[in-house]
Amino acid sequence: DSGVTQTPKHLITATGQRVTLRCSPRSGDLSVYWYQQSLDQGLQFLIQYYNGEERAKGNILERFSAQQFPDLHSELNLSSLELGDSALYFCASSVPAQGGAGELFFGEGSRLTVL
Amino acid sequence: AQKVTQAQTEISVVEKEDVTLDCVYETRDTTYYLFWYKQPPSGELVFLIRRNSFDEQNEISGRYSWNFQKSTSSFNFTITASQVVDSAVYFCALTSSDSNYQLIWGAGTKLIIKP
Chain A, residues 91-110, CB within 8 A of chain B, namely 92, 99-109
Q: Would you give the DSSP letter of residue A102?
A: S
- Identify the residue with better confidence: A100 or B15: B15
Phi, psi of B70 (to 5 degrees): -65, -30
Nearest-neighbour CA in chain A from B40: distance (Å):
11
The rounded distance, in Å, linking the Cα atoms of A53 and A65 is 13
The rounded distance, in Å, linking the Cα atoms of B64 and B38 is 12
Cross-strand pairs, A43: A37
Are residues B46 and A106, on separate chains, in Cβ contact within 8 Å?
Answer: yes
Residue B96, pLDDT score: 87
Are residues A101 and B95, on separate chains, in Cβ contact within 8 Å?
Answer: yes
Residue B9 Cα distances to A12, A26, A88, B87, B103, angstroms: 29, 32, 20, 14, 20
Are residues A102 and B50, on separate chains, in Cβ contact within 8 Å?
Answer: yes
Cross-strand pairs, A78: A19, A64
Residue A95, pLDDT score: 75
pLDDT tens profile B53-112: 998 888 899 999 999 999 999 999 999 999 999 999 999 999 988 888 889 999 999 999
Label residues B59-90 b or e (16+ Cβ within 10 Å = b).
eeeeebbbbbeeeebbbbbbbeebeeebbbbb
Instruction: Please state the rounded mean pLDDT for residues B8-15.
Output: 97
For residue B37, list chain A residues with Cβ-Cβ distance below 8 A: 106
Residue A100, pLDDT score: 59
Chain B residue whose CA is closest to A58: B102
Using an 8 Å Cβ cutoff, are B4 and B21 in contact?
A: no
Residue A99, pLDDT score: 52
Residue A97, pLDDT score: 47
Q: What is the mean pLDDT of each run of 10 residues along chain A (115 residues)?
A: 93 97 94 90 89 91 96 97 96 72 89 97
For residue A99, list chain B residues with Cβ-Cβ distance below 8 A: 101
Cross-strand pairs, B46: B38
Residue A11 in contact with partner chain B when CB distance is under 8 A: no
The rounded distance, in Å, linking the Cα atoms of A31 and B14 is 40
Which residue type sits at A48?
A: Q
Where would I find the H helices in B1-115? none
Are residues B102 and A102, on separate chains, in Cβ contact within 8 Å?
Answer: no
Residue B58, pLDDT score: 87
The rounded distance, in Å, linking the Cα atoms of B74 and B91 is 14
